[in-house]
Structure 1
Amino acid sequence: MPTQFSFNSLKHIATITVMASAFTVQAAEIATDPGDYVPLPEGVNLGILYAQYTTRDEVYANGDKQPVNAGLDTTIGLARFVHYTDIGGVIVDPQIIVPFGKVDLKEPIGGLDATSETGVGDPLVGATAWFVNDPDSQQWFGLSGFASLPVGQYDEDKGPVNIGENRWKGIFQAGYVKGFGDHWMVDLIGEYSVYGDNDDFLGFRREQEDSQSIQAHFRYLFSQQTHVALSYYQDFGGETTVGGAEQDDELERNRWLATFATFPAPTIQLQVQAGQDIDVENGFKEDSRVNFRILKVF
């Protein structure tokens, strides 16, 4: 353990660990986009590139804003490949997601010096299987499972300021989509995540309880090529223990996100999103979030 960290200082550092990690800095472990739970036909492939920039300058503990100078910026990219196939009459989309980018802690906090980290994070592998796939009645229901593999870049001396997390994660989702007429669609997603231990977090073992997320997307389709949406994310649980000490740092956070997406060409979709946190019980609060996505169908 580096000499500049005391056990008491870890109580302050750990309140930001979930939000300061490059991949868990967003509301859910896998924050879905509007339309993610509507499957494409067998044989279709997707190549997707995401860019996400988020700023934060407030820290909360037990719902109270802390009187500290704080700054955490993240510039994160995601490369994703999806393949749709048919297994026994069920559409399934095996896929891989690889995060990369930069985490920048701009102000010292809780005994942790200002620092940054860049690199490639922990890839996720998994799939969704659709057990209801009924375009005629505009209804879809799918179950998803993903595993996060602890092979990304990780520096044990930087604790929460890392691209990788040095632990396994299991992420499970259930998604239901219903269309109403020619223009309106509602997407409802529930997520449950389980975590392995990080056995070298600033010289300590970090454990985390299971977390849950509810995600909702309300879409208006101008046409089959263009839509706008308003999304809501709510997170629960996920309290951590560092060195055997409970951190009292449950997620308890929510945020909104607005989306505009269009196909400027038959096989290319562009998407832009903007939003921010509404309430945060523990950790950094997002001042602003801007996401870009380009999707190629082939």
Structure 2
Amino acid sequence: MKKSIAAGFCLPFAFVDATCALETAPGDYEPVPAGKTALLMYYQHARSASFYRSGHRVSDDFRLRSDMGLLRLVQSVPLSDGLYWEPQAILPFGHLRTGGDARVLGNESGVGDLNLGSVVKIRLPTRHGDMLGLGVFVQAPTGSYDRDDALNLGENRWRLVLQGAYVHHFDERWSLDTVADVSGFSRNDDFGPNGSTQRQKARYEYQTFLRYQWAPATSLGIGGGYVTGARSSVAGDDQGDELRTSYARLTLTHFLVPDVQVQVQLGRDMAVEQGFKERGRLNLRLVKLF
């Protein structure tokens, strides 16, 4: 019996462009138990010390520390045998702190943009019940934003994310999660001190995780992802800032009791073309089923 619960996130902040979307964790596209509501609470701590432009490190003392939280509510609606609909709402909040050469960017605290999602999950008639998932997420410009701030938790624009996933179960213990998504953005007509128009091309992300069900209540996952695209322009000037980022993740998920799950994930960036390079990340997640 699969015990993983749907939940995945990436906490976005704006520095020239937004670099995050809806990063997932191993088991996120297994269904929430039919008819149940899942309340998910996240904490993320990440540190960066290097900054890159066009693949070149321009500073090794460009420090950013993020301490972020997130609330997520997911409702599982069974549509038929093996078909699940999961509407959900996601709200990030937290604090960004800079140091070293990045100190001029200042610090930022507040609430991020509200994200509303609709996910459909289908259990396929394969030998071990593979899963197919399709998600649509709309991010509204509701978060903290000030055009005079270099760091913002809100983006001051709409974002649409389309996400697809396939989970292949090799047997009762081994699974492979594969997730891909594309993000599209509306214009930000109040970007920077001059209130310029920012446009951004589509952003693409691919993730894969090998998952092992170590015990009935405990699973381990290892994998990572790759991000590309999101080239932006400001007031018609091409910023030459297309993303090419690869990252690694190690995840432990455990049910304390049948309706309470905890997850610990460690990660770091492996290669960065543009922006901050994370040297370390800790994600904690608590899930309560009702």
Q: Which amino acid aligns with 1:91?
A: Y
Contact 2:87 2:118 in 1 (8 A): yes
**2:136 matches 1:145:** yes
DSSP-derived class of the 1:43 partner: coil
> % of aligned pairs identical?
32
Return the alpha-carbon distance in structure 2 between the equivalents of residues 279 and 84 of structure 1: 37
Which contiguous aligned blocks of 4+ residues in structure 1 show a shift greater than 4 angstroms?
A: 22-28, 133-136
1:41-52 superposed matches below 5 A: 41-52=33-44
Return the alpha-carbon distance in structure 2 between the equivalents of residues 212 and 149 of structure 1: 19
**2:94 matches 1:101:** yes
Instruction: Give unpaired runs (5+ residues) of structure 1.
Output: 1-18
Which of 85, 97, 107 is 1:92 aligned to?
Answer: 85
Contact 1:255 1:279 in 2 (8 A): yes
Which of 181, 187, 195 is 1:197 aligned to?
Answer: 187
**Gap change, CA 1:229 and 1:75, over 3 Å in 2:** same
The alpha-carbon deviation at position 41 of structure 1 amounts to: 3.4
**2:168 matches 1:162:** no
Which of 174, 179, 191 is 2:164 aligned to?
Answer: 174
**2:117 matches 1:129:** no
Tell me the residue number matched to 1:114.
105
Q: CA RMSD in A?
A: 2.2
Give a deviation string over 1:188-246, Cα, whole Å, max 9, x none.
00101001111111122111100110010111111221011112110110001112111
Bigger shift: residues 139-148 or 236-245: 236-245
The alpha-carbon deviation at position 136 of structure 1 amounts to: 5.5
Contact 1:251 1:281 in 2 (8 A): yes
The alpha-carbon deviation at position 133 of structure 1 amounts to: 4.4
**Gap change, CA 1:256 and 1:169, over 3 Å in 2:** same
**Gap change, CA 1:127 and 1:134, over 3 Å in 2:** farther
Provide the TM-score with structure 1 as the length reference. Answer: 0.87
Return the alpha-carbon distance in structure 1 between the equivalents of residues 245 and 44 of structure 2: 19
**Gap change, CA 1:20 and 1:264, over 3 Å in 2:** closer
Which of 227, 231, 238 is 2:223 aligned to?
Answer: 231
Return the alpha-carbon distance in structure 1 between the equivalents of residues 20 and 60 of structure 2: 26
Tell me the residue number matched to 1:188.
178
Q: Which amino acid aligns with 2:161?
A: I
DSSP-derived class of the 2:148 partner: helix
The alpha-carbon deviation at position 50 of structure 1 amounts to: 0.6
Q: Which amino acid aligns with 2:67?
A: T
Return the alpha-carbon distance in structure 2 between the equivalents of residues 26 and 204 of structure 1: 16
RCO higher in 1 or 2 (8 Å CA, sep ≥ 6)?
Answer: 1
The alpha-carbon deviation at position 27 of structure 1 amounts to: 6.7
Tell me the residue number matched to 2:22.
30
Instruction: Give unpaired runs (5+ residues) of structure 2.
Output: 1-10
Return the alpha-carbon distance in structure 2 between the equivalents of residues 292 and 26 of structure 1: 22
Provide the TM-score with structure 2 as the length reference. Answer: 0.89
Give a deviation string over 1:173-198, Cα, whole Å, max 9, x none.
00000111221111000101001111
Return the alpha-carbon distance in structure 2 between the equivalents of residues 133 and 26 of structure 1: 35
Contact 1:54 1:289 in 2 (8 A): yes
**Gap change, CA 1:134 and 1:43, over 3 Å in 2:** farther
Give a deviation string over 1:101-153, Cα, whole Å, max 9, x none.
012232455xx823111111101101111244458522010110000010111
Tell me the residue number matched to 1:3.
none
Return the alpha-carbon distance in structure 1 between the equivalents of residues 120 and 15 of structure 2: 24
Return the alpha-carbon distance in structure 1 between the equivalents of residues 242 and 236 of structure 2: 16
